[in-house]
Amino acid sequence: MTWNTADIPDLTGRRALVTGATSGLGYETALELLRHGADVLIGARNPEKAAQVAQDLTQASGREPAVVELDLADLTSVEKAADQVVKSYDKLDLLVNNAGVMATPYRQTADGFELQLGTNHLGHFALTGRLLPLLLKAPSSRVVTVSSFMHTTARGIDATDFRRPEQGYSKWVAYGKSKLANVLFMLELDRRARAAGVDLLSAGAHPGYAATHLQAAGPELAGRAFEVRMWAGVNKLVAQSAAAGAWPSLYAATTPDMPPGGYYGPRFLGFRGAPTTAWLTRTARNPALAERLWAWSVEATGVDPTLTVPR
């Protein structure tokens, strides 16, 4: 498969929301969507930073995005952001669940969940559920959920992981579980959309190894300056650019006639290059586990996504 951003079709008239769009993969995803005619909303936790990024995106693309204040680690913020979008727009064609944290020291979300699962999965689960009525008003809408090849390190997940205590905490184990949750959610959303007969496509992507601030964010939070410098050096040696890392997400978001439930990543050993179909573990493809995760997520967030066409 050969693909680059020149293959993205005209997106005029389509509206997209990209989470985590103030840097890295999210910024590059939002930029290409704008360049190809989409109306883009950028979800961001920091309003001041988001305002500056919106200016940068406008200058780079010639089109101005809208800003939605959104903190995925706070379910009240997720509810407010979704309400704002639902009240402001008549449809949403594309949701890119991109934002995330990686290998952070032990922290809890505003609602008491382990930070990585709470942000990477539960925040996006709640956001998607609250935006489904708007997504289902658009013809051929899509939800793209960004995972990682690190999902392959997780051998399972259960409800106790949501509120795992600090004792015995492993930041990399928690990250792997959060990325497994992303894939399980993506595939279960696809199954439920097809069973309901709605015109919604759920797909997933991973960026391979891309140079973003994600690698340094965890060490910065822990105050580990040496690790920050180490990751900077590793990125220079082996990582592809954030722009290239966004290609699988953009491919999943924009390619016409995309099969449902597809998962895409870089073609060269899963680390870099043009997007292609990516490998999923047997655990990630377990529908019974995905169904249980969905039920646990409904209980944790209080959001029960409804896949029926609005009248």
Nearest residue to 102 (alpha-carbon basis) of 209, 166, 175, 26: 175
Angle at 276 between CA 281 and CA 35, to 5 degrees: 125
Largest CA distance in the chain: 56
Mean pLDDT of the chain: 90
Q: Which of 27, 61, 179, 202 is catalytic?
A: 179
pLDDT at 86: 97
Q: What is the pLDDT of residues 37-83, one digit of tens each?
A: 999 999 999 999 999 999 999 999 999 999 999 999 999 999 999 99
pLDDT tier, 154 (very low <50, low <70, confident <90, very high otherwise): very high
pLDDT tier, 235 (very low <50, low <70, confident <90, very high otherwise): very low
Mean local confidence (pLDDT), 253-263: 94
The single-letter DSSP state of residue 150 is G
Q: What is the pLDDT of residues 77-113, one digit of tens each?
A: 999 999 999 999 999 999 999 999 998 999 999 999 9
Judge whether 241 counts as a catalytic residue.
no
pLDDT at 286: 98
Cα separation, 144 vs 233, whole angstroms: 30
pLDDT at 231: 41
Judge whether 49 counts as a catalytic residue.
no
Cα separation, 260 vs 170, whole angstroms: 34
Q: Which of 77, 141, 147, 297 is catalytic?
A: 147
Residue 77: half-sphere exposure toward Cβ, Cα within 13 Å: 20
Q: Which of 27, 175, 251, 263 is catalytic?
A: 175
What are the residue boundaries of the structural domains of the chain, listed by start?
11-300
| pLDDT surpasses 60 at 236 | no
pLDDT at 232: 45
Mean local confidence (pLDDT), 15-23: 96
CATH class of 11-300: alpha beta
Cα separation, 227 vs 241, whole angstroms: 20
pLDDT tier, 267 (very low <50, low <70, confident <90, very high otherwise): confident
pLDDT tier, 241 (very low <50, low <70, confident <90, very high otherwise): confident
Strand-pair category, 141-146 with 200-205: parallel
Mean local confidence (pLDDT), 205-234: 57
pLDDT tier, 222 (very low <50, low <70, confident <90, very high otherwise): low
82 Cβ contact partners less than 8 Å away, ≥ 6 residues apart: 126, 127, 130, 131
Mean local confidence (pLDDT), 269-294: 89
Copy the structure tokens of residue 119.
């942000």
Judge whether 147 counts as a catalytic residue.
yes
pLDDT at 273: 75
